[in-house]
Amino acid sequence: MPTFIKIGPLEKNLCGITSRGYIISRKGNTVFIHYGSINCFLRKFYWAGRYLPTPVTKKFRRKELAVKYYNDRLNAVEKEEYIRLPPGKKILKFKELKYLIMKEIDY
């Protein structure tokens, strides 16, 4: 399941910086996409909101079409200057952030 992040300048944003996460996976003839804003804390990435990531499910009639769409999305995401995270790294859920903070301050 490839996981991508993008952190960099974006003039449209008020602060001038963007941080986005993007996950894409495929099972059979269905492609699952999750995306949204991310934050970084203690060298770990986590989704920035309680209701993130935004899920998108694309169903196809044939497996070949799903594979083609999946490969096209991977290429498109890499062209948009997203960086692929190394295997084993993932974007954590918002509720896991509370655990990280409590562990860090020995609460």
pLDDT for the residue numbered 104? 65
DSSP assignment letter at 31: E
How many structural domains compose the chain? Answer: 1
Domain range holding 57? 3-104
Q: Are 30 and 56 in contact (CB under 8 A)?
A: no
- Least confident among 32-36, 60-64, 87-91, 103-107: 103-107
Task: Give the model confidence (pLDDT) of 65-79 as tens digits.
Answer: 999 999 999 999 999
Q: What is the pLDDT of residues 32-60, one digit of tens each?
A: 999 999 988 778 888 887 778 999 999 99
CA distance 6 to 103: 27
If we measure between CA atoms, which residue out of 22, 23, 33, 25 comes closest to residue 67? 25
The band of 106, judged by pLDDT with boundaries at 50, 70 and 90, is low
* CATH number for position 28: 2.20.140.10
| Residue matched to tokens 């996981």 | 3
Partnered with residue 92 across adjacent β-strands are: 46
Beta-strand runs (E) in 10-95: 17-27, 30-41, 44-47, 54-59, 83-84, 91-92
Quick one: pLDDT band at residue 27, thresholds 50, 70, 90? Answer: very high
